[in-house]
Structure 1
Amino acid sequence: MSSAGQSTVPFTIPSVSGEVSDAVVKVLDSGWITTGPQTAAFEQEFADYLGAAHVVAVASCTTALELCLRGLELPPGSAVLTPSLTFCGAINAILHAGHRPVLVDIDEDTLVPSPETVAAAAARVKPAAMIVQNQGGYPVDVAALAEAAGLDRTRVVEDAAHGPGAARGGKPVGAESFAACFSFYATKNMPIGEGGAIATSDEGLQEKVRAMRLHGMSKDSWKRYLPGGSWRYDVKQVGLKANMTDVQASIGRAQLAALPEWQRRRAEIVAAYDAAFRDLPGLTLPQRNLGGIQHAWHLYQVRVPDRDAISAELEAAGVSTSVHFIPANQMTSYRDILGADECARVPVTDRVGEELLSLPLYPGLTPDGQDRVIAALTEALRTRS
């Protein structure tokens, strides 16, 4: 309980469609619960939602990133550009694929790399590939960043973990991507609990990652055990155990149907935050929807002075917050791997990273809960003005 005797406003609560329970029961009763017809149906429906040519469902966004990097068949130890303001899983995917992360600084207005920061990083090395991230749901300009890196689009992997619902120029994130990787983790806009997907316009890449998600086997168990199927299979390229199950896929199909309404609700909450915070001193609001950009609003990230103390004050007032993200260059393991010189290459990330604070933003956030968030942050900042 907070000091006022009220229950805490959680940072997030997963949204669950009313159709999920029935969908899961049907799968459990079907006699087939691993990768099979539900997974295939979910892949097609998510591809239709995005307007993508192909979707391959996998175990997580992290494994999606690794599978795509493996699918590029780069020489071992290749330099892969990545923002440092990212989740550790994205850095791990580069390392697990056998490559070397090269850190890229951000633009402080958008919280994503700019063509200038990408070009500066590319000038230090000759990158073989790049991971770009839609931070908080802000859709990056993939073409501009690829050009700045001197890379063909077929060497760019999009971390779209925050991307469902985002669009640029009227095209959803993932619609025309060579490789866009999505997350269905419990906190995401379309939560399954765990799970991910790869959207690609490339037939060859989808064939590779489809095989590699199941050890590199030429046929999954559904194809082997169908009437008339054969137990015989081949392994042409070493893969991972990274498939999605039909239980997960059935949840995903129900959640996908509810996603548009959830996105509408997120936009309502963001509009209320914007109106309340617009003139609040000491506060920098999140990236704006400008120039044909449709933000997915996975996160409402503000920048505040004295961030850690303000976060503690909000917690005492019964409002939970989070930070996205602790920059990778500040993590012990990555500092050991990359070295101090590389980790010093992202000064804007280091400065902005100390100011970022993510406020509660989820479809189930009540008007009363949002009022409490607004009141708590307003009070914390006014005592500092």
Structure 2
Amino acid sequence: MTRINVMKPWLGADEIHALTEVIESGWVAQGPRVAQFEREFAVAMQADHAVATSNCTTALHLALVVAGVGDGNEVIVPSFSFIATANAPTYVGALPVFIDVDPVTGCVTAEGVAAAITHRTRAVIIVDQGGVPVDFGAIRTLCDPLGIVVIEDAACGAGSTYRGRPVGAGAVLAAWSFHPRKLLTTGEGGMLTTSNAGWAERARRLREHAMSVSAADRQTSILAPPESYAEIGFNYRMTDLQAAVGIVQLGRLPEIVRRRREIAAGYTAALAGVGGLRPVGDPGWGTSNFQSYWVEVGVDYPLNREALLLHLAEASVSARRGIMAAHLQPAYVGSPSVRSPLPVTESLTANTLILPLYHQLDAADQATVIDALLAPLAVVRHG
């Protein structure tokens, strides 16, 4: 039996053609394609400014730097997220403070944020987990009057909506990922979007070693102007090769979202009323792009999560364990980042799994996944 993967990027002839054009142009590092990708991404996400980066983690790092977060500050973050969300504050000398998430959406709530705020809190990083939009407005209403910067980790969010607009559209700072597990991919790559022109300008300098003259300007000059370095910067650049792929992928986004929601609807319909399996869905304030279609395995299902993963693997279905609990990772065990129990995070991490969902998943393969999920129930009924 052919293995059914949990994810496959949707890449084709258009991306190959775009890469060929860049190679033939002779300009493969950060240049005109990156600038074009930034402009088009900003328009698509209804953002004022977009700054391309090497990945989402570096975009988060730059967001914290331009927001003035540093030594002695605290940054509230969900533990229920990839560890990069917590790591980014440590890069600027701040302390990530873990909070729990909503048991249905897997996203942080305004109530959870409020309980963790101290006089040292400088920022909050909220996550559109698995593509489920976080209730951004409620958290901004809480934090804005306190001078706390809300940064949206929209790594999984391209194509999701919040109250009728793209996620991140109302964010003062948002970070995006183009890793192959995301809807839009450039292989690796990220983007920082912001409503603050000064922050965008500084982020552009910082991603390029904080040079006063960009590499693009130097390259187009016969006599390159002298450059200076007013602060310590980073090498967080995206290449034109990556951006060329990103431009094509961005044009595909509406079709990618439509197809993913169609597949997700098929899973949801098949699992309706199945005891012990709770699938993720849209929250009341928005729509998910279903970057991850995760299912919580409860006590009413015949198998626990680990046994179900093994059962699916035996059917050549490659599912994955759900989102990690960063506070349980060795890097954070015993850390002052963990101040209170996080029971929802630990339960979701232990009991959720991610099902195969990608653009090319056909009806037969999806039926194989669904049949494998339902088979243990038939054994119980006829046992």
**TM norm. shorter chain > 0.5:** yes
For residue 336 of structure 1, report the CA deviation from its aligned partner. Answer: 4.0
Question: Map of 1:49-68 to 2, 5 A cutoff?
Answer: 49-68=44-63
Match of 1:325 among 314, 323, 326: 323
User: Once the two structures are aligned, what percentage of the paired residues are identical?
Assistant: 35
How far the C-alpha of 1:154 sits from its partner, in A, is 6.7
Are 1:77 and 2:72 an aligned pair?
Answer: yes
Q: CA deviation at 1:62?
A: 0.5
1:275 aligns with 2:269: yes
Task: State the one-letter code of the partner of 2:178.
Answer: F
Report the 3-state secondary structure (helix = DSSP H, G, I; strand = E; otherwise coil) of the residue aligned with 2:354.
Answer: strand
- 1:362 partner letter: Y
Task: Supply the distance in 2 between the matched residues of 1:153 and 1:285 (Cα, whole angstroms).
Answer: 37
Number of the residue aligned with 1:313:
311
The Cα shift of 1:126 comes to: 3.7
Farther off after superposition, 327-336 or 78-87: 327-336
1:20 aligns with 2:44: no
Pair 1:151–1:301, CA change in 2 (3 A)? farther
Asked if structure 1 preserves the Cα contact closer than 8 Å seen for 2:42 and 2:50, the reply is yes
> Which of 17, 35, 38 is 1:40 aligned to?
35
Check conservation: 1:282, 1:381, Cα contact below 8 A: no
Q: Identify which of 358, 369, 373 aligns with 1:373.
A: 369
In structure 2, relative to structure 1, the CA distance for the partners of 1:203 and 1:152 (3 Å cut) is farther
Q: 1:140 to 1:287 in 2, by over 3 A?
A: same
* 3-state SS of 2:278 partner: coil
Moved over 4 A (4+): 149-154, 381-385
Corresponding residue for residue 355 of structure 2 = 359
Q: Give TM-score, length-normalised by structure 1.
A: 0.93
Aligned to 1:246: 240
Deviation of 1:383 (Å): 4.4
Q: What is the distance in 1 between the residues matched to 2:66 and 2:274?
A: 47
State the AA in 1 paired with 2:320.
S
Q: 2:290 aligns with which of 280, 292, 297?
A: 297
- Confirm or deny that 1:174 pairs with 2:172: no
Instruction: Please give the per-residue CA displacement for 1:141-165, whole angstroms capped at 9, x wherever unaligned.
Output: 2231233456657711110011100
Find 2:140's aligned residue among 146, 153, 176.
146
Query: Of 222, 226, 232, which aligns to 2:226?
Result: 232
3-state SS in 2 of match to 1:320:
coil
- Please give the secondary structure, in 2, of the residue aligned with 1:23: helix
Q: State the secondary structure of the residue aligned to 1:334.
A: coil
Q: What residue number does 1:3 align with?
A: none
The alpha-carbon deviation at position 382 of structure 1 amounts to 4.9
**C-alpha deviations, 1:176-200, integer Å up to 9, x for none?**
2111111000111011110000111
Query: Could you tell me how far apart the structure 2 residues matched to 1:327 and 1:365 are?
Result: 29
| 1:215 matched residue in structure 2 | 209
Report if aligned partners of 1:212, 1:239 keep a CA contact under 8 Å in 2. yes
User: Is 1:39–1:250's contact at 8 Å kept on the other side of the alignment?
Assistant: yes
AA aligned opposite 1:254 = V
Q: In structure 2, the residue corresponding to 1:19 is in which secondary structure?
A: helix
CA distance in 1, matches of 2:361, 2:124: 36
Instruction: Give the structure-2-normalised TM-score.
Output: 0.94
* Residue identity opposite 2:344 in structure 1: V
Aligned partner letter, 1:34: A
Q: Conserved in 1, the CA contact under 8 Å of 2:67 and 2:149? A: yes
* Match of residue 110 from structure 2: 115
Q: Does 1:260 align with 2:254?
A: yes
Question: Residue 20 of structure 1 aligns to a residue in which SS?
Answer: helix
SS at match of 1:192: coil
Shift of 1:324: 3.2
Unaligned ranges ≥5, structure 1? 1-5
SS in 1 for 2:77: strand
Q: Structure 1 pair 168/94, CA: closer, same or farther in 2 (3 Å)?
A: same
Residue 346, structure 1, aligned to residue 342, structure 2: yes
Q: Secondary structure at the match of 2:19?
A: helix
1:129 to 123, 130, 136: 123
Aligned residues: 376
Contact 1:116 1:148 in 2 (8 A): no
Helix, strand or coil: the match of 2:279?
coil
